[in-house]
Every structure is written in C-alpha cells, then in structure tokens.
Structure 1
Amino acid sequence: MRKELNIGYLIPQFPGQTHIFFWRELQEMEARGATLSVFSTRMPPKGLISHNWSQAAIARTEYLVRPDPLGTLAALAALPWGDLRGDIKREGKALLREIILCAAAARQLVKSCKAQGITHIHAHSCARAALIATLANRLSGIPYSLTLHGPMSDYGIGQNLKWRHAAFATIITEKLLSEARDQLGPDMPDRVVIQPMGVDVDAFSRQSPYVSPSPGQPVKIFACGRLNIVKGHQDLLQAVRLLKDRGIPVQLEIAGEDDDGGNGYRQILESRLSELGLADTARLLGAIDGDAVKQKLLEAHVFVLASWHEPLGVAYMEAMSCATPTIGTDAGGVRELIVDGESGLLVPPKNPDALADAIARIATDPGYAMALSKGGRDRVVTNFRSSLGAETLLREIGE
C-alpha cells in the first residue's frame, strides 16, 4: 500500500441478512492496513438482524438518517444549488425531495469524516447511500466512490448526479457495466473496474469430500435468499412437488426472510407450501447466520436459487465454495459466475420443470454431481474470493 488509508465505508441498512459480504470485505481491508469507519443509512428491521457478528457490526456503525430539521436547513443552505440545478430540472421534484431527505445525513457524514480524519468515502450502493456520499462531496469536497451491485433501475433517480462526481466505481459484472455506459454516457467516471463480489473461500470449505445421495435417500436441497417473489422460491416449491410426483424423495430447506421481518412474502410462501402438500417436505428457516448457512450447505446434496433476476449472487458463490453442486437461473449476470455444466447448472427462470430436471440429474448421477462439486469450488477459488474485492478498493482508493 502506497499510503495510509482512512476510509468511510457506507452501507445501506447494515447489517442486513445478505450483508456478510460487506463484513468480510471490510475485515479484509483492515487486515491489509487500512482504517475503516462504518456508516449506514439506518438499522434494518429486527427480524433481518441474524448474524453472529451483527451486534459487533452495529456497535461500530454510525447511522446517518435521523430526524434533524436544523441539520437539514444548514445543509440545504450550504449546498451548491447552481451545480445541482440541471439535474433537478431534468429529473424534477422527485430528485429535489431526495436531496432534501438526504441533506442532513450528508452533513453529518461530513462532520464525522472531518472528526475522524477520513479521506475517502466508499458507498456500497447506488441508491440513497450514494446520494448521501454525493452531497457530502458537494458540501466538503471529500472524494467518494460507488459500487453497482444490480441494475441501475433498482437504485432510483439521480444516477447521473451520483456517478458524475465519483472518483471511481466498481461494477460486479460486464453486463451491468454495459448497461451503465448506455445510461450514463459522459457522466461515467474515468475509472471503472469490474470487480465481482466474493466469499471467504477458507471459511466456506469442507473438511471431507462431497457425497452424493444414495439410491432411495431423500435429496437434501438447500436454498438461501430473501423471501421475495423475484428470488423464485415459489418456483422451487413447484419443482419439489414435481420431483415427489416422479417418485424422487426430497427434503427442502429455505433460509431467508422477507423485508418485513416475516410479515410479508413469507406468508404467501407458507400458503403455497401448504397448497402443494409439502408440509412434511419443505421448511422455511427464516434468517439464519453465516455459520448456520455454511452448515446447511455442507449437509445439502444440492443448492438451488431460482431467481428471476440475479446480478451475480453471493449465495451461489458460498455454495460453490463449499463444493455443493449448485443450480442457478440463466438470468442477469449469473452466467458470468456459473459455467453451465462445468461449475454448476443453469436453467431458465420461472421454469419449475427445468428446475426439477436439473435437480433430478444431480440426484441420479453421482459422477456428474462430483464433477460439479469440484468445478464449482475451483471456479470460486480462482475468480471470486473475497480478498480480490478488498484489494481492488484499496488499490483504487490509493490512486
């Protein structure tokens, strides 16, 4: 490292159920000598705080979004409105409203950065967290960077403003890079790096070789992802029903919770599970911590995530790192992670029949299951270990 780095690490609603990647990355950066201060917009709902490291993360996180009328007025008075006028004119009152909502948080971020000697902010989102970082830059000049984790349409308005002033950006797939270039045009930063998310391949590993299911033994299927319609859990339930109808015994466990802490889409999935007659076959585990996820992966014969759209997929990486044969959907950027037939299987999204066929193939062909087990592990170790993301951020921030 060419110079000592003191970084503000900004993550929305941290620590959420899918945030283990961020926790790994910040630890990797600190292990390489950087100083990190963690910021977040607000705390996630209680039902989504599930990791054994969550309380340690909360204790070191400063939450920026809070009622602060005087801070809002002070920040709004200090903003360079001439610089913002063009974006507001183009995107209208909705962007102005977002700026007003984020102004006090940006002012607080500036105060904390000055007090702690922070010289760079990295926003791991292109939604409201990115706007807070942008406004902090407009208020104080502190440089910032962004990571794009999914389609830009998922992150709301003001994208040209957020990206125009960024020192650099990382984007997790080539597909998303192409989409960003098309949308941003000249507002794309000069420095943009393709850097996938990653996993701790030492932590997510197995001590004994993968063993495929024996004839007549129930196929243990594990899925892990937010309980949301786009994650395709309902398609996986339908595939399990098809497998049972074919006489293939299966057991399914789904880890994850909905964004309402169990009061939202979970109830729809519970009803669907009952309608399909899977009460003795499938279980919804709720949000579980990383150690429990790893244990489930090691016990499973196959990991399945049937997302309708997935930018890349840390859950796939964790399964592949554990050498558990993995089935994903050919949607979004997943094919940049899973090489079909080599490091896992890809099926069309929203296709329970194809999903059932893929599970059945792994269940009935031990040699093929073993090949996918090895191929998945090799793919992640080579290209998707978490240390790569930390190294990229430190290199780019140090430029």
Structure 2
Amino acid sequence: MPQREKLGYLVPQFPGQTHIFFWREIAEIEALGVTPVLLSTRPPPDGLIVHDWSQAAMARTTYLGAVSLARAARALPRLPWGELLREARRDGAGVLKDVLVCAAAGEALREHCAREGIAHVHVHSCGRAALIAAFAQHLGGPGYSLTLHGALEVYGPGQRYKWRHARFATVITRQLIAEMRAEQPDDLPPLVLRPMGVDTGFLRRDAPYVPVQPGEPLRLFSCGRLNVAKGHQDLIEAVRQLRAAGHDVTLEIAGQDDDGGSGFRLVLEQLIRQYGLQAHVRLLGAVDAATVRDRLLQAHVFALASWYEGLGVAYMEAIACGVPTIGTATGGVAELIDDGVEGLLVPPKEPEVLAATILRIAEDPDLARHLSGAGRARIERDFTAKLGAETLVEEMRRALSRDPRRRASRPPVPRT
C-alpha cells in the first residue's frame, strides 16, 4: 500500500479559542488522502483550551518553542546573516530579536521533518512561525508556504525575507493580495486567493429562521476575541442606545481576551456595569464550537463591530447558520458580505449606525428572512473548509513537482 503524503501544518499557539476553522481544514486534508502533521510554537494558556477537540489536537501536535541552547548553537552560525542584516537595516532591530527567538525552533522543525519524511510545511501565519519555517528550509529542511489572514503590519518585521523564500502563499481576500503587491512587489511567491472556510454540515439549522416576534426580546449574539479592535464596546453602546429608546434587546458575547479574562474583559465588564446592563449583556467567555452554534441558532441577529477584519470566520459561522448578520465595512468583509444580500454592513466605530441597523432587521421580517436564506447559499458555494483544503493540497503538489531537489530524487507527486 503506498505511503500517504505528509504535510507539515504549522499554526502558532495551537489550538486557540478561534482555531476551529484550522481543525476543520485538517479533517478535510485527511479526507483528501494527505496526512497533516500538526506543528505549533507553544500550547495555548489553560483558560483558552475550550474545544471538545482541543486535547486530541494537542496530543497530535509537536511544539517547537522549547528553549534549546544546543539547537540555537547549531542553527545561528548557519543562518543567512547578510540577508537578515539587510532586513534589520530596513525594518529595525526587531528582526534580530526574532532571529534569536526563532533559530532553535527552526532547527527543531528541520529535525522533525527529516524524521517524519515531510517535504512541505504550510504556515498559517506570517509572524514568527513563518520565520521558523524559513529557517528550517535554509538549514536543509523542506520548503514552506504561507497564509496571510489579515493586515501585514500585525505580523512583525522581516516580511520580505519570509515571503521571498516561500514556495507559494494563499491570501484570504483580493484586497490583501493588492496590498501585498503594492507593499513588496519584488519579494512575493505565487499568490493564490483562497479564504478560509467553515463546516456547513455542522453549522446549519434544521428549521427555517424565525424573525423576532412582537413582544419578544430581540436576541443579539456576537463572537470574537475580547480585544478593543473587535468593537465589542461599540456593540454594547448600541445595545444601551436601543434599550434607552425603549427596545427590549439582549446581547451575549462569546470569546475571551488573550490574558484568560484578566485583560480587556475587565474593561467590558466595567462598561456593562456603568451602563446598568448587567441583566441584559452577558460575556460568555471562551466557549466550544457547539456552544457557539447553539447560541447562533437561538439568535435573531448576529453582529460583530470590528474596527478591522481581514475577512471574518465569525461572520461566516453566523451566515452559515442562517442568522441575519451585521458586519463592518472594513478590511475584506465586503468580499464576504454583499450589503443587503448576505448581510448588512455598517461603518466601524459608529454605534449609533449599528443600533439603527439592528433595529432595521428587527422591524423588517422579510429582510431578515432574505438575509438568512441568501447568506446560507453564499457560504455553501464559496466558503467551505473543503475548498481551502483542496487548494492547499493542489498547490503543495504543484510546488513539489517544480522543486529541483524533488525531481532529482524521485518522480513528481501526481496531482488529483
């Protein structure tokens, strides 16, 4: 029986609270006959290990971030210092800090891939994890590819080096592709447009969506990390305005801050107390995927008021469940939500507009039902986890067939 192909699958701090779409993609890769070998930098904090699959994922994952002076001593002298110093002169000393942090992990990745027979590593990040993969390749390990999930500036320095040596990159929106080509046109591998996707079999409703009924409280739901850029404070302000105007509205927000509840959550809790909304707004913390689905199916409206969003898996999940969805007209969200078709778009940082849009859906049941049906159809067509897995496997095989090292050692991997 022929040995299954292996794909190194590197995600920082895996499995985190927002990583359900990685787990779905992993399952779809396996269904295509490829074995994903799970890799990460370090485990998540205990407070963010929330999914029913988290322990199984951690048991399968090799963590590369352990301090190893011996590996660092082997790796550091062999790195391309001329190239890295040029990056540091352009981007600042942060490049050299990242080199020191990532060198040993790069050697660990090279060793692991040699043991496992991994010929390609895909990195779902452009941060330090991408630098680790680039170092592993330079040290004699496999080639790598990247996925860009959001604005490049959040991923740290040294981007030209990371992208210059990648075999290919998948990018989740057309807008991000245009930004990359404008930012560093001479340092890009082949770019492939491919958004992440969701499991439409799991995220679905068994009965038609029912708009809010007269005399019934309007149930709002939101989901996302508790971070100022997610705009939860704007959504809470919109709820305050609606209730002050006499509308019976409740809100639940699923998600936790990166400090396990001791960070931005405290700011939101104080805001809820300040507005006297303790009986009407609940912070659910980090919850598993089944809980998110159940809350979506109970909600009349989903809203996420992000100040910036590359695309937005939370939006996809809500739309897949047939929940009328409000997003912000920022980042690549308009590539997912056509305003008035799959959902409604509002400007970020304008809670009064958000409040009016929530009320618009509540008062127009025909609009609510239209958004529910049209949104679900769009997700089924364009945003399933299977499409992302197929793209990744196809591009990996194409890249391996072009690799001169592979051609010299064995025939190209056949494409399906």
TM-score normalised by L of structure 1 = 0.97
Hey, what does 1:249 align to over in structure 2? Answer: 248
Contact 2:114 2:141 (8 Å CA) reproduced: no
Contact 2:253 2:284 (8 Å CA) reproduced: yes
Hey, what does 2:376 align to over in structure 1? Answer: 377
Hey, what does 1:360 align to over in structure 2? Answer: 359
Q: Which shifted more, 68-77 or 112-121?
A: 68-77
How many angstroms apart in 2 are the aligned matches of 1:260 and 1:41? 18
CA deviations over 1:60-85 (Å, ceiling 9, x no partner): 00111111112111111222334434
How many angstroms apart in 2 are the aligned matches of 1:181 and 1:48? 35
Hey, what does 2:407 align to over in structure 1? Answer: none
How many angstroms apart in 2 are the aligned matches of 1:320 and 1:185? 35
Matched residues, number:
397
Write out aligned runs for 1:259-278 (5 A): 259-278=258-277
What is the CA-CA distance between 1:96 and the residue it aligns to? 1.6
Residue 205 of structure 2 aligns to which amino acid in structure 1? Answer: R
Contact 2:217 2:248 (8 Å CA) reproduced: yes
How many angstroms apart in 2 are the aligned matches of 1:251 and 1:91? 46
Contact 2:110 2:141 (8 Å CA) reproduced: no
| Gapped regions of structure 1 (runs ≥ 5) | none
Write out aligned runs for 1:321-360 (5 A): 321-360=320-359
Residue 248 of structure 1 aligns to which amino acid in structure 2? Answer: H
Hey, what does 2:125 align to over in structure 1? Answer: 125
CA deviations over 1:254-294 (Å, ceiling 9, x no partner): 00000000000000000000111111101000000000000
What is the CA-CA distance between 1:176 and the residue it aligns to? 0.6
How many angstroms apart in 1 are the aligned matches of 2:282 and 2:56? 29
Residue 325 of structure 2 aligns to which amino acid in structure 1? Answer: T
Question: 3-state SS of the aligned residue for 1:222?
Answer: strand
Q: Which shifted more, 76-85 or 18-27?
A: 76-85
Residue 27 of structure 1 aligns to which amino acid in structure 2? Answer: A
How many angstroms apart in 2 are the aligned matches of 1:201 and 1:141? 36
CA deviations over 1:345-371 (Å, ceiling 9, x no partner): 000101111111111111111111000
How many angstroms apart in 1 are the aligned matches of 2:329 and 2:85? 41
Hey, what does 2:104 align to over in structure 1? Answer: 104
Write out aligned runs for 1:45-124 (5 A): 45-124=45-124
How many angstroms apart in 2 are the aligned matches of 1:183 and 1:318? 31
What is the CA-CA distance between 1:316 and the residue it aligns to? 0.3
Contact 2:16 2:49 (8 Å CA) reproduced: yes
Residue 76 of structure 2 aligns to which amino acid in structure 1? Answer: L
Contact 1:16 1:48 (8 Å CA) reproduced: yes
How many angstroms apart in 2 are the aligned matches of 1:104 and 1:202? 41
What is the CA-CA distance between 1:251 and the residue it aligns to? 1.1
CA deviations over 1:161-215 (Å, ceiling 9, x no partner): 00000000000001111111111111011x2101011101111000011001111
How many angstroms apart in 2 are the aligned matches of 1:381 and 1:140? 41
Write out aligned runs for 1:228-243 (5 A): 228-243=227-242
- Identity, in percent, stands at 55
How many angstroms apart in 2 are the aligned matches of 1:201 and 1:35? 23
Residue 299 of structure 1 aligns to which amino acid in structure 2? Answer: Q
Hey, what does 2:177 align to over in structure 1? Answer: 177
How many angstroms apart in 1 are the aligned matches of 2:24 and 2:389? 9
Q: Which shifted more, 107-116 or 134-143?
A: 134-143
What is the CA-CA distance between 1:248 and the residue it aligns to? 1.2
Question: 3-state SS of the aligned residue for 1:140?
Answer: coil
Question: 3-state SS of the aligned residue for 1:121?
Answer: strand
How many angstroms apart in 1 are the aligned matches of 2:74 and 2:350? 53
Question: 3-state SS of the aligned residue for 2:37?
Answer: strand
Hey, what does 1:398 align to over in structure 2? Answer: 397
Question: 3-state SS of the aligned residue for 2:185?
Answer: helix
Residue 191 of structure 2 aligns to which amino acid in structure 1? Answer: V
Contact 2:320 2:380 (8 Å CA) reproduced: yes
Residue 155 of structure 1 aligns to which amino acid in structure 2? Answer: Y
Quote the RMSD (CA, aligned, Å): 1.3
Task: Give structure 1 regions of 4+ aligned residues with deviation exceeding 4 angstroms.
Answer: none
How many angstroms apart in 2 are the aligned matches of 1:367 and 1:178? 37
Hey, what does 1:309 align to over in structure 2? Answer: 308
Question: 3-state SS of the aligned residue for 1:398?
Answer: helix
Q: Indicate yes or no: 2:195 matched with 1:196.
A: yes
What is the CA-CA distance between 1:4 and the residue it aligns to? 5.0
Hey, what does 1:145 align to over in structure 2? Answer: 145
Hey, what does 1:216 align to over in structure 2? Answer: 215
Contact 2:327 2:344 (8 Å CA) reproduced: yes
Residue 96 of structure 1 aligns to which amino acid in structure 2? Answer: L
What is the CA-CA distance between 1:245 and the residue it aligns to? 1.5
How many angstroms apart in 1 are the aligned matches of 2:75 and 2:385? 37
Residue 122 of structure 1 aligns to which amino acid in structure 2? Answer: H
Contact 1:305 1:327 (8 Å CA) reproduced: yes
Q: Indicate yes or no: 2:34 matched with 1:34.
A: yes
Question: 3-state SS of the aligned residue for 1:303?
Answer: strand
CA deviations over 1:205-264 (Å, ceiling 9, x no partner): 000110011111000100000000110100001100111122111111000000000000
Contact 2:113 2:141 (8 Å CA) reproduced: no
Contact 1:5 1:398 (8 Å CA) reproduced: no
TM-score normalised by L of structure 2 = 0.94
CA deviations over 1:113-172 (Å, ceiling 9, x no partner): 000000100000000100000111111151100000000001000000000000000000
How many angstroms apart in 2 are the aligned matches of 1:161 and 1:332? 25
